[in-house]
Chains A and B, each alone.
Chain A
Amino acid sequence: MTPLRLVIDASVASGADDRSPRQTTRVACADFLFAVRDLGHLAVFNDRLREEWEGHGRTHGAASDFALSWLTSMQSKGRVRRSSLERPDLRWRIPNAAGHHEDVKTMEDDFHLIEAALDTDRRVASRDDKARTAFKQASAKGLVELAPVLWVNPASPSEAAIGWLEQGAPDEPARRLS
């Protein structure tokens, strides 16, 4: 299986936290992280995402002890990649492409995930369905560069994220931000 460079949001890391209130989320997120590691995929971080993982973040809080152990293991195995791509040209167009006013902040807060994904294999794992919906709408309203990005929610059973990973994380239209 060809290793893919995946952008994994801190919401997945915090979802694996043993203090997480929803046990199904905890297990699903932990299983997803295990699958990424065991299937030989790579994790991509830009500075913002790394800060969120390591505990300086905001929306979803710091990564769990489990997730940090996972990250340490991935780093030790040389399976972490860095992205420094910034797309101010796209970020600047967010307000015009937003479906609702409140979506602007939502997208701006998570745009670093899009930047890292566009710089690598265009695959994002995040529990933030609100951001996904906002990005999809923006993509339809002219921010077409976002359309090829695939977005999965590991905590959503219907999305079968681990099965998708096991198949090599194929480019499926239903997972695109289009």
Chain B
Amino acid sequence: MPAAQESPGRITKISVTGFKSLRDEQSIEIRPLTILAGANSSGKSSILQPLLLLKQTLEESYDPGPLLLNGPNVRFSKMDQLLWHSDGEAQSARTFRVRLATAETSERGLTFTEYEQKPSIVEMTDTVGGESLTLREGMDDAEIRSKVLPRLVRVNESQIAGMRFYVSRDRWRLRVSAPLALPSIFDPTTPSIFPPLLPGLTVIQWSLPVLADEMSEDILSMIHLPGLRGEPRRTYPLAAVGSHFPGTFHNYTASVIASWKEGEEGKEKLAGLAGDLERLELAWQVEATSLDAAQVEVKVSRLPKSKAGGAAELVNIADVGFGVSQVLPVLVALRVAGEGQMVYLEQPEIHLHPNAQARLAEVIAAAARRGVRVVVETHSSLLLLAVQALVAKGELPAGDVGLNWFRRDDDGATRIESGSLNEAGEYGDWPEDFADVELALKRQYLRAAAAHVPAGDDPTPPGH
């Protein structure tokens, strides 16, 4: 099993139902390198969006309710936009569900519904060691007594005989409540996955937080780089740099590079970043300087490779090709991420020359080898092929790569077919179609061009 899957608390599998085009439950495993591929609007982004919704909700400074719909990572204006719809209203979903597994037998399930056009949480399931506990709105007293209470606390039946338990919703928690308080009935030494939120109150309450602490930490530490990473700028706003990057990462890029001027570790990362840029044949030096308390300037070498004895001529990043400013956040994110940290890259290859796309796979694979969990959404056949080559060369363990192919069925519902590479870098029957498209186009061209092929004795060179 890949190393990244072994650490407790880290999300190893995401399953989503009823969300946008994900009508039926679809899942992806999180491997050291997880690749999401498929046509436009096939649902690639949708599988990660529930995680991004949770991230932006957890990061919000005020209480946004169960889910912050309109945030820096994903933007919705009403709950309806999150739910599966088909032509027939009867087939539309009223809820969506996300299950986040941290091990084979441990996961947290969350079900959200629309309540006055806002998201509302209606069910939580906590599975530990294969045993599940569900809190659901509308659970009756008998169900709570038989299925919930025994998992929560050790109680003396006679002491709770006259009480009526119910599940209530309190912002983003589901809570078991009873109208009377008898704190003495609880044995404080009993391990409980639902500790009383406010012990000693006159109402018995246990609530299940939306996410366990380790899972929250995994989501909060996630680095997200969307496909649109902004125009290159002469200066970037100064941002605080730590191990967590709320919102989308490209806003931190300049500040992170500036922070690497200090300390051995920082200098090592800066040198690594310059090496990555040189590998992509984009630049061989990079630096960022704080101009004042609010702005950072990023400069890169004008030449893609160093010249013997030549000093670097550094120019503002706005003065070089678009590819540099678009890929720089990708490279910095992969360098700044710590072991086990998840980095979600949407189309890291945009604006890159084919050669740089292939080289980018090497940089991504190097990050995965360092223990970063990289999730890549891509349309690049070259990037995928380069990953296959790295596996075949033994430079990336085959089991570290997870392939997920997204397509829409006739009803418009997303289907995900997951696969793996073998040690030869082959993916077998995984329905990757980049090669199909390329071959079909070449065949089409051959057939079309055949009509224009000159006779064998025609000396006119092509293009004349």
Proximity string of chain A (59-78) to chain B, C-beta cutoff 8 Å, 1 when within and 0 when not: 00000011001101101111
What is the number of residues of chain B that contact chain A, defined by CB distance less than 8 Å? 24
Q: Using a Cβ cutoff of 8 Å, how many contacts connect chains A and B?
A: 58
Asked if A21 and B456 make an inter-chain contact with CB atoms under 8 angstroms apart, the answer reads yes
What is the CB-to-nearest-CB distance from B364 to chain A, in angstroms, rounded to a whole number? 18
Q: Which residues on A sit within 8 Å (CB–CB) of B447?
A: 27
Of the candidates B388, B446, B451, the one whose C-beta lies within 8 Å of that of A76 is B388
Q: Which residues on B sit within 8 Å (CB–CB) of A21?
A: 453, 456
Q: Decide yes or no whether A41 CB sits under 8 A from chain B.
A: no
Q: How far is the CA of A31 from the CA of B453 in the complex (A)?
A: 18
Asked if A72 and B442 make an inter-chain contact with CB atoms under 8 angstroms apart, the answer reads no
Q: Decide yes or no whether A34 CB sits under 8 A from chain B.
A: yes
Q: Decide yes or no whether A156 CB sits under 8 A from chain B.
A: no
Asked if A69 and B427 make an inter-chain contact with CB atoms under 8 angstroms apart, the answer reads no
Asked if A30 and B443 make an inter-chain contact with CB atoms under 8 angstroms apart, the answer reads yes
Asked if B446 and A78 make an inter-chain contact with CB atoms under 8 angstroms apart, the answer reads no
Within 8 A of B (CB), among A48-92: 65-66, 69-70, 72-73, 75-78
What is the number of residues of chain A that contact chain B, defined by CB distance less than 8 Å? 21
A18-B428 in contact given A66-B439, A76-B388, A76-B435 (Cβ < 8 Å): no
The listed residue with most A CB atoms (<10 A of its CB), out of B427, B442, B449, is: B442
Chain B interface, >50% SS class: helix
Proximity string of chain B (411-444) to chain A, C-beta cutoff 8 Å, 1 when within and 0 when not: 0000000000010111111001001101100110
The listed residue with most B CB atoms (<10 A of its CB), out of A18, A66, A76, is: A76
Q: Which residues on A sit within 8 Å (CB–CB) of B439?
A: 34, 37, 66, 69-70, 73
Of the candidates A23, A37, A65, A78, the one whose C-beta lies within 8 Å of that of B450 is A23
Q: Which residues on A sit within 8 Å (CB–CB) of B450?
A: 23-24, 26-27
Q: How far is the CA of A27 from the CA of B453 in the complex (A)?
A: 12
Asked if B426 and A69 make an inter-chain contact with CB atoms under 8 angstroms apart, the answer reads no
Q: Decide yes or no whether A118 CB sits under 8 A from chain B.
A: no
Q: How far is the CA of A92 from the CA of B120 in the complex (A)?
A: 81
What is the CB-to-nearest-CB distance from B460 to chain A, in angstroms, rounded to a whole number? 14
Q: How far is the CA of A61 from the CA of B209 in the complex (A)?
A: 67
Asked if A78 and B435 make an inter-chain contact with CB atoms under 8 angstroms apart, the answer reads no
Q: How far is the CA of A34 from the CA of B447 in the complex (A)?
A: 13
Q: How far is the CA of A37 from the CA of B429 in the complex (A)?
A: 12
Q: Which residues on A sit within 8 Å (CB–CB) of B453?
A: 21, 23
Asked if A26 and B436 make an inter-chain contact with CB atoms under 8 angstroms apart, the answer reads no
Q: Which residue of A lies closest to B427 (CB)?
A: A76
Q: How far is the CA of A112 from the CA of B435 in the complex (A)?
A: 29
Q: Which residues on B sit within 8 Å (CB–CB) of A65?
A: 442
Of the candidates B388, B425, B443, B449, the one whose C-beta lies within 8 Å of that of A34 is B443
Q: Which residue of A lies closest to B429 (CB)?
A: A77
Asked if A69 and B442 make an inter-chain contact with CB atoms under 8 angstroms apart, the answer reads yes
Asked if A77 and B428 make an inter-chain contact with CB atoms under 8 angstroms apart, the answer reads yes
Asked if B442 and A66 make an inter-chain contact with CB atoms under 8 angstroms apart, the answer reads yes
Asked if A69 and B438 make an inter-chain contact with CB atoms under 8 angstroms apart, the answer reads yes
What is the CB-to-nearest-CB distance from A156 to chain B, in angstroms, rounded to a whole number? 18
Asked if B443 and A78 make an inter-chain contact with CB atoms under 8 angstroms apart, the answer reads no
Of the candidates A27, A72, A75, A77, the one whose C-beta lies within 8 Å of that of B446 is A27
What is the CB-to-nearest-CB distance from B419 to chain A, in angstroms, rounded to a whole number? 11
Q: Decide yes or no whether A42 CB sits under 8 A from chain B.
A: no
Q: Decide yes or no whether B366 CB sits under 8 A from chain A.
A: no
Q: Which residues on B sit within 8 Å (CB–CB) of A70?
A: 439
Q: Decide yes or no whether A16 CB sits under 8 A from chain B.
A: yes
Q: Decide yes or no whether B62 CB sits under 8 A from chain A.
A: no
Of the candidates A23, A30, A31, A72, the one whose C-beta lies within 8 Å of that of B435 is A72
A72-B426 in contact given A21-B456, A27-B446, A34-B439 (Cβ < 8 Å): no
Asked if A75 and B424 make an inter-chain contact with CB atoms under 8 angstroms apart, the answer reads yes
Q: Which residue of B lies closest to A25 (CB)?
A: B450
Q: Which residues on A sit within 8 Å (CB–CB) of B148?
A: none
Q: Decide yes or no whether B385 CB sits under 8 A from chain A.
A: yes
What is the CB-to-nearest-CB distance from A65 to chain B, in angstroms, rounded to a whole number? 7
A18-B422 in contact given A69-B439, A73-B436, A77-B429 (Cβ < 8 Å): no
Q: Which residue of B lies closest to A16 (CB)?
A: B446
Q: Which residues on B sit within 8 Å (CB–CB) of A23?
A: 450-451, 453
Q: Which residues on A sit within 8 Å (CB–CB) of B435?
A: 69, 72-73, 76
Q: Which residues on B sit within 8 Å (CB–CB) of A78?
A: 422, 424, 426-429
Q: Which residue of B lies closest to A73 (CB)?
A: B435
Asked if B427 and A18 make an inter-chain contact with CB atoms under 8 angstroms apart, the answer reads no
Asked if A30 and B446 make an inter-chain contact with CB atoms under 8 angstroms apart, the answer reads yes
Q: How far is the CA of A78 from the CA of B436 in the complex (A)?
A: 15
What is the CB-to-nearest-CB distance from A95 to chain B, in angstroms, rounded to a whole number? 36
Q: Which residue of B lies closest to A23 (CB)?
A: B450
A18-B385 in contact given A23-B453, A34-B439, A77-B429 (Cβ < 8 Å): no
Q: Which residue of B lies closest to A26 (CB)?
A: B446
Asked if B443 and A76 make an inter-chain contact with CB atoms under 8 angstroms apart, the answer reads no
Q: How far is the CA of A65 from the CA of B441 in the complex (A)?
A: 12
Of the candidates A24, A34, A66, A76, the one whose C-beta lies within 8 Å of that of B426 is A76
What is the CB-to-nearest-CB distance from B358 to chain A, in angstroms, rounded to a whole number? 13
Q: How far is the CA of A65 from the CA of B445 in the complex (A)?
A: 13
Proximity string of chain A (89-131) to chain B, C-beta cutoff 8 Å, 1 when within and 0 when not: 0000000000000000000000000000000000000000000
What is B's interface to A at a CB cutoff of 8 Å? 385, 388, 422, 424-429, 432, 435-436, 438-439, 442-443, 445-447, 449-451, 453, 456
| 7 A/B residue pairs, CB under 8 Å, sorted by A | A23-B451, A69-B438, A69-B442, A76-B385, A76-B388, A76-B432, A78-B428
Given A27-B450, A69-B438, A76-B425, 17 other A-B residues pairs in contact with their CB atoms under 8 A: A16-B446, A18-B445, A21-B456, A27-B446, A30-B442, A30-B446, A65-B442, A69-B435, A69-B439, A72-B385, A73-B435, A73-B436, A73-B439, A76-B385, A76-B427, A78-B427, A78-B428
